[in-house]
């Protein structure tokens, strides 16, 4: 149900010059198209719900020879150290190769992104690798800020966001918007 609400939500929002981030559930061509038509950019999380898209992005980042040919922009962040928690993130953004654009027909696709997150919480370490596609140019710092902003909102929903969505639900008549919030973030 949440995925059906996203296009309705995009219709009622002023998105011009915004960056819209959406979880893998909302990684759909028609949603990307709707975002760009509203003069905004998208950063979409990938998982295995789009055929071979996730695996193909992963293979590009693992191909050392191809990565040498591509211009790679990198950014790094470190958070924490208080309360026994440390998080490091490495963002790599590359311009989307033409062969990939032909294989995966995504609207206005410009860049592929890899995020490697390392977490240490009270002495227990973990690492996660995530991939994204975006209509933004491959500027790792900017894309990384949008991705981090998405997770910050998802991890700390505030009364303001809930109130804003309740008001939009009442005015637009679109149902399920409250459950859509964790999937969607608009970053200006």
Give me the number of domains the chain comprises: 1
Identify whether the C-beta of residue 185 lies closer than 8 Å to the C-beta of residue 18.
Answer: no
pLDDT tens, position by position, 56-74: 999 999 999 999 898 899 9
Range of the structural domain that residue 53 is part of: 2-187
Average pLDDT, stretch 142-157? Answer: 71
- pLDDT of amino acid 26: 86
pLDDT tens, position by position, 151-171: 554 544 443 444 344 444 444
Could you tell me which of 173, 138, 132 has the C-alpha nearest to residue 11?
Answer: 173
19 pairs with which residues across the strands?
Answer: 41, 187
Residue 82 has pLDDT above 80, yes or no: no
């Amino acid at each position: 149900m949440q995925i059906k609400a996203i296009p309705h939500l995009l219709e009622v929002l002023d998105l011009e010059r915004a960056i819209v981030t959406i979880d893998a559930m909302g990684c759909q061509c028609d949603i990307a198209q709707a975002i760009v038509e509203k003069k905004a950019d998208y950063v979409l999380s990938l998982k295995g719900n789009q055929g071979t898209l996730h695996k193909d992005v992963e293979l590009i980042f693992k191909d050392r020879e191809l990565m040498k040919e591509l211009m790679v922009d990198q950014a790094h962040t470190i958070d924490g150290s208080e309360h026994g928690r440390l998080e490091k993130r490495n963002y790599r953004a590359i311009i989307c190769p033409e062969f990939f654009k032909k294989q995966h027909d995504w609207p206005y696709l410009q860049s592929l992104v890899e995020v490697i997150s390392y977490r240490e919480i009270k002495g227990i370490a973990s690492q996660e690798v995530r991939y994204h596609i975006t209509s933004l140019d491959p500027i790792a710092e900017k894309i990384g800020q949008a991705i981090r902003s998405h997770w910050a909102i998802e991890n700390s929903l505030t009364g303001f966001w809930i109130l804003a969505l309740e008001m939009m639900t009442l005015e637009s008549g679109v149902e399920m918007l409250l459950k859509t919030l964790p999937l969607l973030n608009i970053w200006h």
